[in-house]
């Protein structure tokens, strides 16, 4: 595998960008390698600067559910560009996308468009605090909600694999109002609720945890969160930045039949452009300025090019429910290949898979929460990652991330990938 250009670009980038990357996981440090610089992508394949082509299972960490550069999305975006890139004024497309989101997820009666998942979650929490007049929030260890100050506590994703688990530069005061419970551990939530009683504004959760690898909610766990938040007068926020429009068109809330007060979205809804959203019940969202006292704004929010990419992506997903069936079947076959590999080589692989998300953990334990997730042998992950990469399969360069299957993965891609996984 020739990676001369990538190496060269990495050296140059490191001189002007911290670590040479604009988001830490991209640096490949968790797998002890240097990153590949990507120059283009089409369908299920990405191509690096040295013209190596890989079957891509990162999918830009979620947005590329249709595969890369879907012709219908690209054409619409090109058309939108010709009409101007940004106006800083309301547009028809913002209305159309907002309406599509509300229709897909009936728990969302009103929605605000922003630019990143980080911003969506930060704003949702501010709104929840404004609405309830309470200060504390409960989050789960290993759940990731973006990089805003108050949420970088026991966070997942990149924060799990850097040497400092939580971030420098965050004053203790900023995260003092963030309480940490354990995913799938009802008692840990109950204990905090009892201790803080009427001070908890919201419980925020990734309904399917996808930033500590993939960890599924135990039967009844989400329903339990729905009930306990209602009992204590707190809001329930589902962070569906990954699961929204991925588990199905209606997201995790539709899949599990549990409906939160507020939802955050990102990744897929921008169709590959920077776009995210937060929404919820009308009376909660009417706390937001200019109707209510909770301030939140954005120069590029609801950008016409980004909303175009989002609308086209959602349109295609909505028109093709069979896409979800196909992705799920493909993901299940990949999961089975990893299990088979485990039985053959190590006898210690545990695979979680739901819809088009999956993750293989290199452990002999059943992965059901944070502790069992981090029992994975990350050296073995790195080794298998390297093998896959050298054979043309691009997976997440870190254990505690998901593997994303897209609509563009063909029968042939999946068969080839299964064969390579098996070695």
Ligand X SMILES: *Cc1c(COP(=O)(O)O)cnc(C)c1O
The residues assigned a catalytic role are 144, 239, 267
Residue number of the CB closest to ligand X reads 117
Exposed/middle/buried for residue 88 (C-beta within 10 Å: 0-12, 13-18, 19+) = exposed
Among 6, 91, 161, 211, binds ligand X (CB under 6 A): 211
Of 110, 28, 27, 53, the closest CA to residue 393 belongs to: 53
| C-beta of residue 360 within 8 angstroms of C-beta of residue 344 | no
Segment 331 to 390, residues that bind ligand X, using CB under 6 A: none
The residue range among 38-46, 51-59, 68-76, 115-123 that interacts with ligand X, by the rule CB under 6 A, is 115-123
Among 146, 207, 244, 397, binds ligand X (CB under 6 A): 146
139's tokens? 């989050």
Kindly write down the DSSP assignment for every residue of 130-176, as one continuous string. Answer: HHHT--EEEEETT----S-GGG-SS--THHHHSSSSS-TT--HHHHT
* Least distance CB 156 / ligand X (angstroms): 8
123: contact with ligand X by CB under 6 A: no
* Least distance CB 146 / ligand X (angstroms): 4
The residue range among 50-58, 158-166, 236-244, 288-296 that interacts with ligand X, by the rule CB under 6 A, is 236-244
Of 178, 256, 199, the closest CA to residue 224 belongs to: 256
| C-beta of residue 358 within 8 angstroms of C-beta of residue 402 | yes
The residue range among 68-76, 113-121, 227-235, 350-358 that interacts with ligand X, by the rule CB under 6 A, is 113-121
Of residues 276 and 414, the one with the C-beta less far from ligand X = 276
239: contact with ligand X by CB under 6 A: yes
Backbone angles phi, psi at 285, to 5 degrees: -65, -25
* Least distance CB 61 / ligand X (angstroms): 6
Distances in Å between the Cα of 288 and the Cα atoms of 48, 92, 102, 295 are 43, 21, 17, 6
145: contact with ligand X by CB under 6 A: yes
* Least distance CB 274 / ligand X (angstroms): 7
String of contacts with ligand X for each residue 271-310, x by CB under 6 A = -----x----------------------------------
| Distance separating alpha carbons of residues 152 and 148, to the nearest angstrom | 7
Backbone angles phi, psi at 189, to 5 degrees: -75, -45
Among 241, 317, 334, 378, binds ligand X (CB under 6 A): 241
| C-beta of residue 27 within 8 angstroms of C-beta of residue 20 | yes
116: contact with ligand X by CB under 6 A: yes
Of 201, 245, 200, the closest CA to residue 65 belongs to: 245
The residue range among 104-112, 122-130, 235-243, 316-324 that interacts with ligand X, by the rule CB under 6 A, is 235-243
Number of residues that bind ligand X (CB under 6 A): 14
Q: How far apart are the first and last CA of the chain?
A: 17
Name residue, tokens 């040479």: 20
Among 57, 144, 221, 256, binds ligand X (CB under 6 A): 144
Among 59, 213, 260, 266, binds ligand X (CB under 6 A): 266
| Distance separating alpha carbons of residues 103 and 124, to the nearest angstrom | 19
* Least distance CB 337 / ligand X (angstroms): 25
The residue range among 138-146, 188-196, 331-339, 383-391 that interacts with ligand X, by the rule CB under 6 A, is 138-146
Residues lying near ligand X in the complex (CB under 6 A) are found at: 116-118, 121, 144-146, 206, 211, 239, 241-242, 266, 276
């Amino acid at each position: 595998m020739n990676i001369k250009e990538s190496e060269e670009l990495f050296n140059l980038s490191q001189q002007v960008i911290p670590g040479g990357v604009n988001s830490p996981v991209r640096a490949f440090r968790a797998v002890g390698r240097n990153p590949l610089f990507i120059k283009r992508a089409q369908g299920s394949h990405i191509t690096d600067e040295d013209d190596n082509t890989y079957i891509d299972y990162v999918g830009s960490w979620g947005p590329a559910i249709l595969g890369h550069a879907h012709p219908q999305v690209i054409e619409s975006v090109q058309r939108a560009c010709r009409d101007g890139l940004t106006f800083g004024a309301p547009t028809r497309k913002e209305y159309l996308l907002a309406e599509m989101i509300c229709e897909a997820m009936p728990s969302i009666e009103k929605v605000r468009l922003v630019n990143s998942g980080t911003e969506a979650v930060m704003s949702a929490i501010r709104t929840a605090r404004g609405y309830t007049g309470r200060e504390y929030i409960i989050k789960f260890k290993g759940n990731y909600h973006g990089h805003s100050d108050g949420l970088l506590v026991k966070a997942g994703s990149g924060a799990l694999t850097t040497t400092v688990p939580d971030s420098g530069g965050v004053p203790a005061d900023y995260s003092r109002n963030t309480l940490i419970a354990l995913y799938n551990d009802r008692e840990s939530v109950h204990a905090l609720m009892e201790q803080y009683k009427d001070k908890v504004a919201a419980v925020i959760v990734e309904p399917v945890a996808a930033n500590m690898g993939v960890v599924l909610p135990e039967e009844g766990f989400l329903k339990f969160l729905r009930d306990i938040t209602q009992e204590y007068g707190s809001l329930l926020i589902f962070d569906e930045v990954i699961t929204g429009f991925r588990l199905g068109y209606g997201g995790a809330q539709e899949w599990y039949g549990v409906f939160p007060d507020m939802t955050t979205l990102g990744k897929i809804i921008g169709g590959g452009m920077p776009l995210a959203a937060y929404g919820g019940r009308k009376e909660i969202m009417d706390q937001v300025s200019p109707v209510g006292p909770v301030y939140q704004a954005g120069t590029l929010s609801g950008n016409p090019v980004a909303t175009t990419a989002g609308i086209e992506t959602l349109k295609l997903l909505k028109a093709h429910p069979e896409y979800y069936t196909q992705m799920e079947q493909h993901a299940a076959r990949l999961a089975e290949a990893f299990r088979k590999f485990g039985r053959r080589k190590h006898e210690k692989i545990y695979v979680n898979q739901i819809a088009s998300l999956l993750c293989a953990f290199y452990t002999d334990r059943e992965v059901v929460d944070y502790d069992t997730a981090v029992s994975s042998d990350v050296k073995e992950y790195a080794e298998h990652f390297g093998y896959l990469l050298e054979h043309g399969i691009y997976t997440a360069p870190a254990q505690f991330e998901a593997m994303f299957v897209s609509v563009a993965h063909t029968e042939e891609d999946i068969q080839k990938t299964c064969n390579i996984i098996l070695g």
